[in-house]
Structure 1
Amino acid sequence: MTLRVFRKLCLAASLVLAAGPVLAETAQTHEQRIDRLTDSMVVLMPFGTIFESVAAADPSWPAMERADEISARQLVCLRGELSTEGYRRYARGMVQVYADANPGRLDSDIALVESGVAEMFGKLVLAGAEGERTGVQADPEQLLAGYAPEQLEAFMTFFSAEEHAGLRELAGLGNQLNTAKSAEENEAAGEQLGSALAGKLMARAMDTCGVKLP
């Protein structure tokens, strides 16, 4: 091996070693973005909060009348899966797939949902769930009254712009809710979406916890 070749090999090795921390930092940044988008998805669709509220009111939930068919360990597992942390694990898996397929969209997606979109829709979802429980429906306009015009515009854009179709799909909304529909149509669509996603999460929890009911 000549001295020139040796020097070239050393230079190549030093470049690879120098690139190592940069690559690690890039990967970490990607993971941090995934965490941020996951946090917003959990706020936007607060199923964990809703499940925890129901669980707090009924120690036998979600087994209830079928408690004899579910072991104590399975019940603990189910309640853990149907919680904010359990929902976050589910959401992060979905966000991971979305982020890996759409890395160039992450910054703009995060900026959009963190601008108030996730918080606003989460408020509406929680108010709707509370209305179902009490029979007293909240006024959406009052719930969103404290937000700035640009935040409300971002909220409308999230639900109407074709460029955000993938993000809406990630949130579990698809195109079922639309600014072109009437309030009554969106309310009915929202109830269907909520029931479908709750059923999906329940089925996932049962599978994870090994619960098989006839």
Structure 2
Amino acid sequence: MRLVGALTGVFAMSQVAAAQPSALSDDTRIDRLTDEIVKMIPLGPELDALAAADPRWPLQSIAPEDVKPEWLSCARESLSTRGYREYRRAETAEYANEYPDRVDSDLAVLSAGAAEVFAELARQGIEAGKKNQDVSDPKALVLEVLRKSDPQRRNAFIAFASGEEHTLLRRFVGVESTHGKVQSGQTFGDGLVQRLMEATMKRCRIPDSLRRPAQG
């Protein structure tokens, strides 16, 4: 499925009102930007569902006798709705520290509706993928989601997806590579989950040598 990749062939440049300087504190701005990114990519419920389905997840690939209880507890806490937001919040703080002049504009475009439209596109893409692994016309799905969106949300999403001023934001959330190439849905999703897993293994101090399939 290439839903995110389809954006390059669908959208033309669009403008939204320029963000005004914010009177909010830095922490509040970071919290709000984090909330929009989590709304945009709502991975938490998916992680919670995986945990509910398997009491050994996410360490089921490690032999049971090698798994310490504290590792499993730490990993499950990290890979949860709460842990996902904490991970995104830490990333967002680093982004805001590196690009402080981008925060207000990025927050404005996401809160204007870009995050909600992206989340709906992701939701419908996931549902379509469950029914048919090879979605025949991803551009049609993108256009259908936009057609049902109100003008403000639609324009905000187009600005986020194609506006040069939001290039850093697209790269930050993982939609666009550092080479300017829009990531496919599969690449985008896999990359985010991989980063989360790597951060979890490091945080929970799980040795690399134990990342092997369980026997039997």
TM-score (normalised: structure 2) = 0.72
Q: 1:4-53 deviations in whole A, cap 9, x for unaligned?
A: xxxxxxxxxxxxxxxxxxxxxx7x71110010001111111222222112
User: Aligned-pair distance for 1:125?
Assistant: 2.2
* 1:50 corresponds to 2:79: no
Residue from 92, 97, 106 that aligns with 2:94: 97
CA distance in 2, matches of 1:75, 1:129: 28
Query: What is the aligned partner in structure 1 of residue 121 from structure 2?
Result: 124
Q: 1:47-91 deviations in whole A, cap 9, x for unaligned?
A: 222211222222221122425132222112111111122111111
Residue from 194, 202, 213 that aligns with 2:197: 202
Q: Between Structure 1 and Structure 2, how many residues are aligned?
A: 178
Alpha carbons 1:50, 1:129 under 8 Å: kept: no
User: Aligned-pair distance for 1:140?
Assistant: 4.4
User: Aligned-pair distance for 1:130?
Assistant: 4.0
Q: 1:178-207 deviations in whole A, cap 9, x for unaligned?
A: xxxxxxxx7xx1101111221111111111
Determine what percentage of the aligned residue pairs are the same residue: 36
Q: Which consecutive unaligned segments of at least 5 residues does structure 2 have?
A: 1-22, 212-216
Amino acid of the structure 2 residue aligned with 1:49: P
Which segment is superposed worse, 72-81 or 94-103?
94-103
Question: After the TM superposition, which parts of structure 1 deviate over 6 Å for at least 4 consecutive aligned residues?
Answer: none
Q: 1:73-122 deviations in whole A, cap 9, x for unaligned?
A: 21121111111221111111221122123323322211110111112212
CA distance in 1, matches of 2:174, 2:146: 22
CA distance in 2, matches of 1:147, 1:154: 11
Alpha carbons 1:55, 1:62 under 8 Å: kept: yes
Query: What is the aligned partner in structure 2 of residue 37 from structure 1?
Result: 33
* 1:87 corresponds to 2:84: yes
Structure of higher CA gyration radius: 1
Query: What is the aligned partner in structure 2 of residue 64 from structure 1?
Result: 60
CA distance in 2, matches of 1:130, 1:207: 32
Query: What is the aligned partner in structure 1 of residue 214 from structure 2?
Result: none
Correspondences of 1:1-214 after superposition (within 5 Å)? 29-68=25-64, 69-135=66-132, 139-174=141-176, 175-177=180-182, 189-212=184-207, 213-214=210-211
The structure in which a higher percent of residues are helix is 1
Distance 1:130 1:66, change over 3 A: farther
CA distance in 2, matches of 1:56, 1:93: 26
Amino acid of the structure 2 residue aligned with 1:66: I
CA distance in 1, matches of 2:111, 2:172: 15
Alpha carbons 2:117, 2:153 under 8 Å: kept: no
Query: What is the aligned partner in structure 2 of residue 8 from structure 1?
Result: none
Q: Which consecutive unaligned segments of at least 5 residues does structure 1 have?
A: 1-25, 178-185
